[in-house]
Structure 1
Amino acid sequence: MASSHQASGIQAGRLAAADIADNFGDLHPAYDAHEAAVAADRCYFCYDAPCMTACPTSIDIPQFIREIQAGHPASAAKTILDQNILGGMCARVCPTETLCEEACVREAAEGKPVEIGRLQRYATDVVMEKDVHPYSRAASTGKKVAVVGAGPAGLSAAHRLAMLGHDVVVYDAKSKAGGLNEFGIAAYKSTEDFAAREVDWLLKIGGITVDYGKKLGADLSLEGLKSDFDAVFLSIGLAGVNALRAAGEDMEGVRDAVDFIEELRQAEDLSALPVGRNVVVIGGGMTAVDAAVQSKLLGAENVTIAYRRDREAMGASRFEQDLAASKGVTLMFNVMPKAIHGNGAAAEIELEYTQVEDGRVRGTGETVRLAAEQVYKAIGQSLQGQPDAVELEGGKIMVDATGRTSVANVWAGGDCASGGEDLTVTAVAEGRDAAMDIHTSLMG
């Protein structure tokens, strides 16, 4: 007898395993040494480099490209990692097309920037393939710091604190470190288990202990951490997913896009993942694009991203939008979910056309229905399990420019903290800068 999944059109193995493996190959294949040298030759090595200003971690981009050009990729990697210890992952997932590469003088002059992201990957891969960590610890300070959350901000803070001689314990609610790098980014952007390998490499600095299965609010309290440690850094991310507020959103086949992406990233066999013939993703950010593209790569026939505002307002970059379109995803703008229809399991989604008045989205009353056995919600996340004592701002932990919260000896960074864009590279910068402020504070 067919399962309800199969009856509703959701099934595994829509494509042959070999086709799925091809589909999930590296989005931007790595340069070899010759290709890297040719790409580096295109850099003008600007004195007042706009690409460097556009980088949230302020990497000296002309310097590292010059080092690649001179045949010293390990030196180039050191220039990158001094500012961004997760430079390998950022080279893969950072929206360089709207940051450093958009600011590149070559982009302005020719419409073809220096491929900074791929050059960064080339250099960092060279260093990570060596079995020697490029940093060593300072003499022990005798100070202990707790980091809650092993995502990009937490790992960045932990590495910098350990390098400065502090002992660090990183707590994470999951059974694996990496945060969104491990669980929340499309598989074709981070192939060959790169996120886990980067964490292992980062921990070679020493002085960092990782304690898994420990969640703030359930297994850990802020008061307890404050009494056991000299400082606390919170990088707990955003675990809550916003509701659609549409009838039928509790039906089978309707789920959070982040859960789907996590399941896909942790799957041993992608061909065993069930996918619908018709998939609709609600949202307009990177998560929406990642969920939609990967549904298509698994063999879904019709995949649509439905976004309530126009193209210009979409959180995903134009590069990401074009990537989705190139994979056969349909992008619908100015529509919002009104209801999901089906007999216990999703079969159709009813969307209402919208218009924006004074910045607010309003329904027009006109609707359209699309077949949809799977509906993914990618409409933003919210803070969960935040410590009561910490002041919030806009639903996130309120911090100053150095990451200090309203509570003494407690800092925060990454997606859970106010300010900054929700990007891996921004989280790394916030973790690094908070670590420097923690160090200054602890050393008086």
Structure 2
Amino acid sequence: MADKIFEPGVQKGRLDAQAYEANFADLHAPLDSHEALVAADRCYFCHDAPCVTACPTDIDIPLFIRQIATGTPDAAAKTILSQNIMGGMCARVCPTEQLCEEVCVREEAEGKPVLIGQLQRYATDHLQEQGHHPFTRAAETGKTVAVVGAGPAGLSAAHRLAMLGHNVVVLDAHDKAGGLNEYGIASYKTPDGFAQGEVDWLLKIGGIKVETGRALGADLTLASLQSDYDAVFLAIGLGGVNALGAAGEDKDGVLDAVDFISELRQASDVAQVPIGRDVVVIGGGMTAVDAAVQSKLLGALNVTLVYRRGRDRMNASVFEQDLAASKGVRIVTHATPKEVIGNGAVREIEFDYVDEDMVATGQTLRLTADQVFKAIGQTLEGDDLPALEGRKIQVDENGRTSVKGVWAGGDCASGGDDLTVTAVAEGRDAAMDIHAALVG
């Protein structure tokens, strides 16, 4: 195995089968029933619990933990899912250490919070394993809503609208529903096809039709959707990737991190995904960390994550940063890409060191690289969209856009953080406003 790791260039199969299996196993082993009861017993069941306020979907955390503690995990799951229909995925990918667990009274007193995220996973997994869907549809309203985008925001909106009695058609450009949950999150966070399993379970509510291979464009315009449906919800995400702004960035081997993660997620055999010997990832968010960690797990010898500001300004949580470091990823801060060097393909990349004001210090850093992954943010793509605010669709607090009858939410819309849990909340809340508009 060691000999294979040291092979130069971009290679498939750098590791043996056992190493791949271990590297891409579930990041966190799920709690068993006894562990869940012990963890739940640590909760103080606070009145006006700060963890609820910190949760973007307003889950009644003390209630669902009490339900676990009393031996009713399926009731706990329904408490969670009534606010966050994608509670299973959020339990896996939500930065709980920055949200609910950070403000937990146990964390404040002891430096060890209640394991809210793992308890949420325990409850939602328990219910979904039964194949049971805890919600039923209201009487049909006769209204039909188009949801463009089958990611967290779109699926959350679709489920709530269907539950309220509307018929929903979800249109998505990909071959599968799920959006970033399916294509944009590290494999070790959602192994064993969990993302698609959650989508299949969600659709059991009924009243939702999913059409893949459908994207806004010449054959699917906003005007045609407005004509054909009673309301439209845009959850199209951010399809473009920002440019590095460095000389030579068009060289072979300079790739978008989101494409790399997507390829890895869709691979039937991760060993067939080629990885370089010397990998550089540029960015400071979750996507950058996911790309860097998975490069290491695929067998890259040297992986360096380079960010333009300090670690305290990285969008990736401290947990994610520590995870990267624990896997052998080197993190370099206060450096911006200057030039990609190589004859046709990348061989090195040079950075300018910058100060807190992003002014070059005159010092440079040159790294050997046979692969460079860009994870420096994504941009909105598409024409004929509602009014923009900056580089996203402008929405009000209910998700309404500048176009009558059109709502938007998730990463494509102005407002909240670019988190799965935030997108779910925005989809749910926009659905409630769409319902009010359709039925008065």
Deviation of the 1:127 alpha carbon: 0.8
The CA deviation string for residues 196-222 of structure 1, in whole angstroms up to 9 with x for no partner, is 000000000000000110111243100
Aligned to 1:303: 303
Q: How does 1:25-40 map to 2 (within 5 A)?
A: 25-40=25-40
Structure 1 counterpart of 2:167:
167
TM superposition shift of 1:272: 1.2
Tell me the CA shift for residue 368 of structure 1.
1.5
Q: Structure 1-normalised TM-score?
A: 0.97
The aligned counterpart of 2:343 is 343
In the alignment, structure 1 residue 410 sits paired with structure 2 residue 435: no
User: 1:296–1:327: 8 Å Cα contact kept in structure 2?
Assistant: yes
Secondary structure at the aligned position of 2:373 is classed as: strand
Q: Deviations over 1:73-122 (max 9, x none)?
A: 00000000000000000000000000000010101111110010000000
Q: Deviations over 1:203-255 (max 9, x none)?
A: 00000000110111243100000000000000000000000011111111110
Counterpart in 1 of 2:179?
179
Equivalent pair of 2:288/2:375 in contact (CA under 8 Å): yes
Matched, 1:42 2:45: no
Over 3 Å counting, the alpha-carbon distance change for 1:386 and 1:8 in structure 2 is farther
Give yes or no for contact 1:8–1:347 (8 Å, CA) kept in 2: no
Q: How does 1:246-265 map to 2 (within 5 A)?
A: 246-265=246-265
1:144 and 2:140 are equivalent in the alignment: no
Q: Which AA in structure 1 matches 2:369?
A: A
**Deviations 1:6-50, CA, capped at 9 Å, x for gaps:** 996110111112101101111111111110000000001000100
Pick which of 127-136 and 424-433 moved more: 127-136
Given that 1:306 and 1:332 are in contact with CA atoms closer than 8 Å, whether structure 2 keeps it comes out as yes
Look up the SS of the partner of 1:96 in the other structure. Answer: coil
Structure 1 residue aligned with 2:114: 114
What residue number does 1:398 align with?
Answer: 394
- The letter for the 2-side match of 1:336 is T
1:342 deviates by 1.1
Q: Distance in 1 between matches of 2:186 and 2:299?
A: 16
Instruction: Measure the CA separation in 1 of the matches of 2:17 and 2:253.
Output: 23
| One-letter amino acid matched to 2:439 | M
Q: Which amino acid aligns with 1:173?
A: A
Q: Which amino acid aligns with 2:421?
A: V
Residue 434 of structure 2 aligns to which amino acid in structure 1? I
Q: For 1:400 and 1:253, how far apart are their aligned partners in 2? A: 41
State whether residues 281 and 288 of structure 1, in contact with CA within 8 Å, keep that contact through their aligned partners in structure 2.
yes
Q: Percent identity?
A: 70
Separation in structure 2 between the aligned mates of residue 171 and residue 306 of structure 1, nearest angstrom:
36
Task: Note the C-alpha offset of 1:386.
Answer: 4.4
Gaps of 5+ in 2: 1-5
Residue 364 of structure 1 and its aligned partner are, at CA, apart by 1.9
1:374 aligns with 2:371: yes
Provide, for residues 311-333 of structure 1, a one-character-per-residue CA deviation record: whole Å limited to 9, x for no partner: 11111111110000000000000
Q: Do 2:7 and 2:277's aligned partners in 1 also have CA atoms closer than 8 Å?
A: no
User: How much has 1:416 moved relative to structure 2?
Assistant: 0.2
Question: Is the CA contact 1:337–1:351 (under 8 Å) kept in the aligned structure 2?
Answer: yes
SS in 2 for 1:75: helix
Partner SS state of residue 220, structure 1 = coil
Partner of 1:69: 69
Cα distance in structure 2, aligned partners of 1:372 and 1:354: 21
Deviations 1:286-328 (A, max 9, x none): 0000000000000001000000111111111111100000000
Q: What code does the residue aligned with 1:415 have? A: D
Tell me, in whole angstroms, the C-alpha distance in 2 between the residues paired with 1:356 and 1:84: 38
Does the 8 A contact of 2:303 with 2:330 survive in 1?
Answer: yes
Larger deviation: 283-292 or 12-21?
Answer: 12-21
Q: Check the 8 A contact 2:352/2:361 in 1, yes or no.
A: yes
Question: Do the aligned residues in 1 keep the contact of 2:23 with 2:297 (CA within 8 Å)?
Answer: yes
Which stretch of structure 1 is more off in the superposition, 322-331 or 17-26?
17-26
2: CA distance, partners of 1:344 / 1:159:
48
Q: Which amino acid aligns with 1:419?
A: G
- The code of the aligned residue for 1:439 comes to H
Equivalent position of 2:433 in the other structure: 437
In 1, are the aligned partners of 2:8 and 2:277 still within 8 Å (CA)? Answer: no
Give yes or no for contact 2:92–2:189 (8 Å, CA) kept in 1.
yes
Q: Is the 8 A contact 1:285 1:315 kept in 2?
A: yes
- What is the letter of the counterpart of residue 384 of structure 1? E
Is 1:268 the counterpart of 2:265? The answer is no
CA–CA distance in structure 2, aligned partners of residues 213 and 347 of structure 1: 37
Aligned residue number for residue 3 of structure 1: none
Partner-residue secondary structure (3-state), 1:421: coil
What does residue range 121-270 of structure 1 map to in structure 2 within 5 Å? 121-270=121-270
TM-score, with length taken from structure 2: 0.98
Q: Distance in 2 between matches of 1:218 and 1:257?
A: 28
* Conservation of the 8 A alpha-carbon contact between 1:8 and 1:345: no
Q: How does 1:412-431 map to 2 (within 5 A)?
A: 412-431=408-427
Letter matched to residue 379 of structure 2: S
Aligned-pair CA distance for 1:430: 0.2
Is residue 95–residue 317 contact of structure 2 (8 Å, CA) maintained in 1? yes
| Aligned residue identity for 2:429 | D
1:422 partner amino acid: D
- Return the alpha-carbon distance in structure 2 between the equivalents of residues 436 and 218 of structure 1: 30
Are the counterparts in 2 of residues 296 and 329 from structure 1 also a CA contact under 8 Å? yes
Q: In the TM superposition, what is the alpha-carbon distance from 1:365 to its structure 2 partner?
A: 2.4
Alignment partners' CA distance in 1, 2:13 and 2:196? 27
What is the DSSP-based 3-state SS (H/G/I as helix, E as strand, rest coil) of the residue aligned with 1:11? Answer: coil
Does the CA-based 8 Å contact 2:178-2:196 persist in structure 1? yes
Aligned to 2:362: 365
